Amino acid sequence: MAGRIDRVAIVGGGFSGSMLAARLAETGIASTLINRTPDFGLGVAYSTPFDGHLLNVRSSRMSALATQPDHFVRWLEANAPEVSDPDGFAPRLIFGRYVQARLAGIEAGHPGLIRRVVGEVAGIEADGVTLSDGLKVAADAVVLTTGNPAPRTASGGSRRVISDPWAPGALEVIGSDDEVLIVGTGLTMVDMLLSLEGRGWRGRAKALSRRGLLPRAHGERPDPAEPPTPALLDGALSSRMAEARAVSRRSGWREMMEGLRPITADLWGRADTATRGRIVRHLRPWWDVHRHRLAPRIGAHIDRLLADDRLTVVSGRVKAITADADGVRLDWRPRQGPARQPLTACWLIDCTGPGHAPEGDPVTGSLLTGGRARLDPLRLGLELDDSGRVLDADGRADPRLFVLGPPARAAFWETIAVPDIRKRIEDVVSALTAPVKT
């Protein structure tokens, strides 16, 4: 039996959910966009109130629309001309305004096609979704755009341990000269240091991560893509890594990464489980710091903090975190060399980034236990087909259940940043507008 999809429930109203709702409305499909909070369009990334948090992608690549690459830059020229350089890195809060403006514009132009609901989705059924307050939203199809799961908590209970640094006001307890420990040395750590400094903090920070790697910075001007060599695309992972180093030496590492970017999802799709496992275990930390780069200005700022000894980075594993009324202590095992003294400070900020436990999430957890979904072999997320449809326990694609955005990582690997998500939005829209066989 063929059936049309007329009403879609979208679970999560960040960038992915909002921009999907907008594209669906443009094709005449109604959606209910459900988000925990009323700030539709923002999500964690674009809800920062701090204008020192810059995009980590140049404005020329941040259009919300796959079909109109200059859409964001044109919006900047009209609405924030002071930051409209296409090669520049605009404040994230301005990008949030752009997303909200696009959503509002589509709502005005297509009245009644997008319904906003503030609430927590607690369950997915065959005919819609149910919110935690019991409200039922009927739908012919459901798209999960729930973003990254909440971070794991570093240590239970103590106010000295800031386990959700994104929570509004989380850093307000930190005094201007307080010493800070940070677990995790990626983009979240950088954001937190910038937020602290924006509030007048002049203290010192010691940061720990397994490898002690810091995100690299973009070049001042856009880096041309180096076309990938055949040896980069095929063969054992170790020989491809050797080729990557050779290409980087010859043509520059940013150019090499730019060349890989458009084909990363295809390369991931073609890799077998053993290769994917090696990528996740060994390559991922290196991939992340080279792929998700800082705006040059922010990279230079972090370099200054390091040079001034206000930021110290060590590599190792957390053994224990203990806290009392006076401060916090971090016992750790160095990655190499003899045991080292515990690290101590007034506060500890958990910057380990998003959690990745689909089983623990109430929505995906119940899909898994009910057999409507299954995890990929590496347990990165739900298994999906090429359009983002969820595969059930027997491997059949559900034509009425999709995942879009960061939780689709098992299928597409790079599905975190706007340029990747907007492509996936088009795939989901095409799948939802095609006749459904039931």
Ligand X SMILES: Cc1cc2nc3c(=O)[nH]c(=O)nc-3n(C[C@H](O)[C@H](O)[C@H](O)COP(=O)(O)OP(=O)(O)OC[C@H]3O[C@@H](n4cnc5c(N)ncnc54)[C@H](O)[C@@H]3O)c2cc1C
Residues engaged in binding ligand X (CB under 6 A) = 11-17, 34-36, 43-45, 55-57, 92, 120-121, 145-148, 191, 363, 405-406, 416-418
- As measured in angstroms, the least distance from the Cβ of 430 to ligand X is 19
**Is the Cβ of residue 189 or residue 397 nearer to ligand X in the bound state?**
189
**Is the Cβ of residue 146 or residue 251 nearer to ligand X in the bound state?**
146
Report the sign of the C-alpha dihedral through residues 189, 194, 198, 200, in that order: positive
Helix-helix angle 15-26:418-433, to 10 degrees:
40
3-class SS of residue 394 = coil
**Is the Cβ of residue 316 or residue 406 nearer to ligand X in the bound state?**
406
- Cβ atoms 315, 209 nearer than 8 A: yes
- As measured in angstroms, the least distance from the Cβ of 314 to ligand X is 23
- As measured in angstroms, the least distance from the Cβ of 405 to ligand X is 3
Where does residue 131 fall: left (phi above 0), alpha (psi -120 to 50 degrees), or beta otherwise? beta
Place of tokens 């006076």: 326
Kindly give, in sequence order, each residue whose CB lies less than 8 Å from that of residue 367, ignoring residues fewer than 6 positions away.
Answer: 124, 373, 382, 390, 401
Instruction: Give the amino acid at 196.
Output: L
**Is the Cβ of residue 20 or residue 328 nearer to ligand X in the bound state?**
20
**Is the Cβ of residue 135 or residue 339 nearer to ligand X in the bound state?**
135
**Is the Cβ of residue 21 or residue 247 nearer to ligand X in the bound state?**
21
DSSP per residue, 303-353: HHHHHTTSEEEEEEEEEEEEE-SS-EEEEEEESSSS--PPEEESEEEE---
The Cα-based distances of 12 to 19, 81, 244, 299 in angstroms read 11, 31, 37, 31
The Cα-based distances of 372 to 302, 377, 405 in angstroms read 45, 16, 19
Q: Which among 43, 25, 20, 19 has a CA at the least distance from the CA of 146? A: 43
**Is the Cβ of residue 16 or residue 209 nearer to ligand X in the bound state?**
16
- As measured in angstroms, the least distance from the Cβ of 294 to ligand X is 10
**Is the Cβ of residue 205 or residue 363 nearer to ligand X in the bound state?**
363
**Is the Cβ of residue 27 or residue 132 nearer to ligand X in the bound state?**
132
- As measured in angstroms, the least distance from the Cβ of 275 to ligand X is 25
DSSP code for 159? T
- The distance from CA 377 to its chain's CA centroid, rounded to whole angstroms, is 21
- As measured in angstroms, the least distance from the Cβ of 202 to ligand X is 24
Can you tell me the distance from the alpha carbon of 194 to that of 437, in angstroms, rounded to the nearest whole number? 51
Return the structure tokens found at 333.
């095992």
Q: Which among 175, 152, 172 has a CA at the least distance from the CA of 164? A: 152
Can you tell me the distance from the alpha carbon of 377 to that of 188, in angstroms, rounded to the nearest whole number? 28
- As measured in angstroms, the least distance from the Cβ of 120 to ligand X is 5
- As measured in angstroms, the least distance from the Cβ of 407 to ligand X is 8
- As measured in angstroms, the least distance from the Cβ of 409 to ligand X is 11
- As measured in angstroms, the least distance from the Cβ of 16 to ligand X is 3
Q: Cα dihedral angle (79, 57, 298, 285), rounded to 10 degrees? A: 160
CB burial readout 188-211, b (16+ within 10 A) else e:
bbbbbbbbbbeeebebbbbbbbee
- As measured in angstroms, the least distance from the Cβ of 95 to ligand X is 7
Q: What angle (nearest 5°) sits at the alpha carbon of residue 295, between those of residues 293 and 300?
A: 105
**Is the Cβ of residue 147 or residue 316 nearer to ligand X in the bound state?**
147
**Is the Cβ of residue 184 or residue 316 nearer to ligand X in the bound state?**
184
